[in-house]
Structure 1
Amino acid sequence: MEAARFEFAATCFSCVEELLKKTGVKASQVNFVITNSSLFNPTPSLSTAIMNHFKMGGNTRNYSLGGMGCSAGVIAMTWRARCWSCTPTATRWSSATRTSPTPSTQTEDEDKIVGVRLTKDIVGVGTRALQGNMTKLGPKVLPISEQLLFAGNMVTRQLSRSVPPLKSIMPAAWTKPYVPDFKKAFDYYCIHTGGRGIIDGLEKELKLSRTQVEPSRASLYRFGNTSSTSVWYELAYIETFQGLAPASVCGSWRLAAASSSTAAS
């Protein structure tokens, strides 16, 4: 516990201090503090630790997200956007701390060493959750042409199952699920850096270009699996090397997978 707190203080406090100096914002002017951590969820919370260290005012509201695995970063960003929309003039800080790779269950191994155990089910669970998120996200961001193609494919597949003779005369492509072209909705992609296989799989499934998956590959190569903080490394890469303005993150799609959930924003 103490070692984890020391690591958090050493990384986050220095980052917040540097950001305050860079922007010229006073700690008392911050309206919201949001922290996210994949596993480390202490009391007092991490957001409270930041507030106390920088002596932020009583009007500052804080939210500490923990125990959500690698999806916590995307959830934190979504929550930040909601707080910002409710208070347009608010100054807010979002912080992330990495404590472990994608978690499933924390347990002891045969040598009585406590660690995080992943099962083979994690890929299937993440895939199903991502498919559900894509289905809900599609109507909100895709152009009408892609929505019509997706709806037509769904009706066609339902007919092929309910009327077997139709399936035999349909082209094979009509009976396969249609994956919408999300490139028509998003310019940038932040894929969870859980491993090369995850990035390769989404690159193939979503038919992304090498440039579009470059931020994820570069973050994985440089920093490894940074769990819930991976989206921050990727956004920083995009801002630095691909020209995305800090205020234009609405044009990016952020995907993060955890042991029991997949978040998309």
Structure 2
Amino acid sequence: MHFIERTLHRSGIGEETSLPLAVRYIPPSRSLDDVRAEAELVIFLAIDDLLEKTGIAPSTIDRLVVNCSVFSPVPSLGDMILNRYKLRDDIHNVTLSGMGCSAGLISVGLARDLLRVRPAAQHEDVDGTLGMNISRNILATGANALKANFTAIGPLVLPHSVQLFYKLFLIMIKYSNGQVKQYHPDFRKAVQHWCIHPGGRPMIDKVQHSLGLSDEQMEPTRMTLHRFGNMSSSTIWYELAYIEAKGRMRKGDRVWMLGIGSGFKSNSAVWDCIRPAEEVDKAWASCIHRYPVATPTEALNTVS
């Protein structure tokens, strides 16, 4: 008791500081029920006070961001709030935990960003049919997203010589009044294989043209689209399996996975091959001998 008293005195906290119930016992009581009860007490009182001051109805809330330094129960603190206040089923619920004392500011920034962006959401048309709304400028929007993606990941994968040349190009652009021809770094010098999300033929063509990729480099994308269709985020892994099934992967090769999705979002991952797959993946085992096949785009080019 003397040691605890001396520690508290030296900590700088005052006599009126409230300590968690768990540390008021000797030895401390740290059960899950005790911690959850404390969290509910603090959080619910804060939300009750907020709703009373603002007059906001819980049913009008469409974003919920909760942060806690360490406590990360299941169900989450966000789910606990949803159940307590009967919030909407389609609410955007994010819980930050395990980030220590910095999570408060991060959660404020996250809430701000969530309020600024428009959801990638499903809507009903005039006939009441639920679906995604895709605008006519999707290719232009996608190109901008890809440009930002390449700019971010380029320094991580491009050879130093290419990076240096690109930096010199940016300096020339700055002082040339637009007289310098546009330069795009050649990512083919850094990556041997490409797994690009097959969102559709127009987008595939756009990416191929932007990166200057050959038909063989785009083959995993087009053949996966032909065989399995667009299976959302899992599709790029089928493309990786295609490359391996064709025996094209070598130790030390690099694979660039490029995910493209609604929003518009573009995400990348570059992998180094530690060792090639020893056998053909089950997805391609029974049909890999039939590929590649001519797709409609390729057949059209052949005729012309």
Relative to the length of structure 2, the TM-score reads: 0.46
2:157 corresponds in structure 1 to 141
1:188 aligns with 2:193: yes
Structure 2 residue matching 1:252: 3-state secondary structure = strand
- RCO (CA 8 Å, sep 6+): is it higher in 1 or 2? 1
CA apart distance, 1:198: 1.4
Counterpart pick for 1:105 among 121, 134, 153: 121
CA apart distance, 1:213: 0.6
2:181 corresponds in structure 1 to 175
**In the TM superposition, what whole-angstrom CA distance separates every residue of 1:37-71 from its partner, at most 9, and x where no partner exists?**
xxxxxxxxxxxxxxxxxxxxxxxxxxxxxx9xxxx
1:117 aligns with 2:133: yes
Larger radius of gyration: 2
Counterpart of 1:263 in structure 2: which amino acid?
N
- Cα distance between partner residues in 1 of 2:268 and 2:249: 19
- Cα distance between partner residues in 2 of 1:127 and 1:263: 13
In structure 2, relative to structure 1, the CA distance for the partners of 1:237 and 1:201 (3 Å cut) is same
Q: Which runs of 4+ in 1 moved over 4 A?
A: none
Counterpart of 2:206 in structure 1: which amino acid?
G
2:234 corresponds in structure 1 to 229
CA apart distance, 1:104: 4.0
**In the TM superposition, what whole-angstrom CA distance separates every residue of 1:6-57 from its partner, at most 9, and x where no partner exists?**
xxxxxxxxxxxxxxxxxxxxxxxxxxxxxxxxxxxxxxxxxxxxxxxxxxxx
Q: Please say if residues 188 and 253 of structure 1, whose CA atoms lie closer than 8 Å, have aligned partners that are also in contact.
A: yes
* 1:188-207 equivalence runs, <5 A: 188-207=193-212
Q: Please say if residues 160 and 175 of structure 1, whose CA atoms lie closer than 8 Å, have aligned partners that are also in contact.
A: no
1:264 aligns with 2:260: no
- Cα distance between partner residues in 2 of 1:146 and 1:109: 48
CA apart distance, 1:125: 2.8
Counterpart pick for 2:220 among 211, 215, 218: 215
1:252 corresponds in structure 2 to 255
Is there any run of 5+ residues in structure 1 with no aligned partner, and where? 1-66, 68-102, 168-173
Q: Please say if residues 197 and 260 of structure 2, whose CA atoms lie closer than 8 Å, have aligned partners that are also in contact.
A: yes
In structure 2, relative to structure 1, the CA distance for the partners of 1:106 and 1:258 (3 Å cut) is same
Is there any run of 5+ residues in structure 2 with no aligned partner, and where? 1-89, 91-118, 270-304
**In the TM superposition, what whole-angstrom CA distance separates every residue of 1:229-251 from its partner, at most 9, and x where no partner exists?**
21111111111114337x97x71
Quote the RMSD (CA, aligned, Å).
2.3
1:239 corresponds in structure 2 to 244
1:19 corresponds in structure 2 to none
Counterpart of 2:209 in structure 1: which amino acid?
K
